[in-house]
Amino acid sequence: DAVVHWFKMDLRITDNRGLWEASEKAREAGVPLICIYLVSPQDFEAHLTSAVRVDFTIRTLRILKEDLAALDIPLYVETVEKRKEIPDRIIEFMEEWGASHLFTNMEYEVDELRREAKLVKMCTDHGLAMEVFHDTCVVPPGALTTGSGKQYAVYTPWYRSWVAYVHANPELLATFDPPSKNPPDARDKVAALFDCDVPDVSENKTLSKEDAKRFHAFWPAGEHEAKGRLERFCEEKIGQYAKRRNFPAQAATSSISVHLAAGTLSARTTVRTARDRNKTKKLDAGNEGIQAWISEVAWRDFYKHVLVNWPYICMNKPFKPEYSNIEWSYNASHFKAWCEGRTGFPIVDAAMRQIRGMGYMHNRCRMIVASFLSKDLLIDWRMGERFFMEHLIDGDFASNNGGWGFSSSVGIDAQPYFRIFNPLLQSEKFDPEGDYIRKWVPELKDVRGKAIHDPYGRGAAEQAKKAGYPRAIVDHKDSRNRALSAYKAGTGRD
């Protein structure tokens, strides 16, 4: 007999609810705990998972395997070529190892929920038990409704309700201990499983040597790194977060999104750690930086709740159905310029080069480039959403879709469509010295003063031209008017 925990986007041993429950079950029954992870190249394709994200997952699995082995728990990793075969493979595995119980944490995207539902039924048919836990959010989806019992469609009242719910249910922030060590005889029963290797991935998701070196330096993998990052951020930066978070040249944010996305860090640990540093021990009172940061982490919960409440957003549809008829431009050369960071708008180009260089982009810049693509270029926001997933190390369907919906005005609680970012003003306000631009756009590194925001318009034309920096591909005033007409015509709204 044995108990199995199936890892997915919860690649940690600390504060992992499903894993802890599995461990308790195994301990009570006196049977071994076995962990599995199934690598699915087809899933990576279907979810547009970036190569840098896949690489991060593989590196994390190696660390997880060692951490579990220190507890005499095997992590069995196998590649399953066809994703629809995953449930069959799990049942086979359970039967092969005489396991009676399967534990896992829930994923809320439509495909994953369907797969989980199918697996629960298959387990029942085979006389096996399966338990699925809420783990990824602090507050489980479905828990919060408005006074009239509806789902929240606006963040601020949702957030008030989220805070009140956590204060009323403090156990939501309790921690789950790592699993107990497998007893010695149990270890022997599963000894063969310790021998498996973590596989490399298919060619099209492999990083070049040069990219691997760069990304590994930016993003060390695994939960120990995640914990260290969180603690350093809370020690050094959280107090100033509210004031500094919008300035991309300052490393003022936590850079833990990759860990929340891969599950090397739990949202509970994150919020609890921040709250415990707050003298008030509250989420919404006391230190401003702490409050602001917790409310950002809550956006992640918010977008997952939205996904559960309105699952059609998983099917390429805008949250607001009345925004389905906007006539987008499919100008390939504009899209290419945006992807390559050659639009002639320095702040946009710096940001697009950051995503290519780091697999990451600062939040303010994500908003600027998303607005620029969907409004200034009037290109279908879904093309940008897709590009982000294909390049981000922290790509997360719910947050990415939510962010694109917000910036292109087709999403939940979005900016009204007539509020269009002016890239030049954004640049002057949030990168006042131009340090972020100079870092990512080497053609402009010698441009001094205000010309950095608009070299051709502000007296640095010769310099920019000589360095091969392109002219602006659109005129913001014209493209703003074009966007306003297209949004108005498509939605029938003023």
Which are the catalytic amino acids? 296, 299, 328, 363, 381, 404
Residue 275 annotated as lining a ligand binding site: no
32 vs 403, beta carbon nearer ligand FAD: 403
Give the interface size with ligand FAD as a residue count (CB under 6 A). 28
50 lines the binding site for ligand FAD (CB under 6 A): no
Least distance in Å: CB of 191 to ligand FAD? 39
Q: Are the beta carbons of 172 and 139 closer than 8 angstroms?
A: yes
Contact stretch for ligand FAD (CB under 6 A) within 89-97, 183-191, 292-300, 467-475: 292-300
Residue 252 annotated as lining a ligand binding site: no
Q: Which of 103, 303, 372, 469 binds ligand FAD (CB under 6 A)?
A: 303
Residue 394 annotated as lining a ligand binding site: yes
Q: Taking phi first (over 0 means left), then psi (-120 to 50 degrees means alpha), and beta for anything else, what does residue 179 get?
A: beta
Least distance in Å: CB of 284 to ligand FAD? 16
Least distance in Å: CB of 204 to ligand FAD? 20
Least distance in Å: CB of 75 to ligand FAD? 25
- Nearest one of 125, 133, 134 to 22, comparing CA atoms: 133
119 vs 392, beta carbon nearer ligand FAD: 392
Residue 436 annotated as lining a ligand binding site: no
Instruction: Point out the residue whose Cβ comes nearest to ligand FAD.
Output: 403
Q: Which of residues 100-139 bind ligand FAD (CB under 6 A)?
A: none
Site string for ligand FAD, 383-412 (x = CB under 6 A): -----x---x-xxx--xx-xxx--x-----
CA distance 106 to 132: 6
88-109 residues labelled b (16+ CB within 10 A) or e (exposed): eebbebbeebebbbbbbbbbbb
Residue 360 annotated as lining a ligand binding site: no
Least distance in Å: CB of 64 to ligand FAD? 20
Backbone angles phi and psi of 131, in degrees to 5? -125, 130
Residue 200 annotated as lining a ligand binding site: no
Least distance in Å: CB of 159 to ligand FAD? 12
Q: Which of residues 317-376 bind ligand FAD (CB under 6 A)?
A: 363, 366-367, 370
72 vs 396, beta carbon nearer ligand FAD: 396
Least distance in Å: CB of 155 to ligand FAD? 10
Q: Which of residues 453-492 bind ligand FAD (CB under 6 A)?
A: none
291 lines the binding site for ligand FAD (CB under 6 A): no
Q: Which of 64, 190, 193, 261 binds ligand FAD (CB under 6 A)?
A: 261
128 vs 373, beta carbon nearer ligand FAD: 373
Q: Which amino acid is at 60?
A: T
166 lines the binding site for ligand FAD (CB under 6 A): no
290 vs 447, beta carbon nearer ligand FAD: 290
Residue 148 annotated as lining a ligand binding site: no
Site string for ligand FAD, 240-259 (x = CB under 6 A): -----x-------xxxxx--
287 vs 400, beta carbon nearer ligand FAD: 400
Residue list, annotated binding site for FAD: 241, 253-257, 293, 296-303, 394-396
Q: Which residues bind ligand FAD (CB under 6 A)?
A: 245, 253-257, 260-261, 296-297, 299-300, 303, 363, 366-367, 370, 388, 392, 394-396, 399-400, 402-404, 407
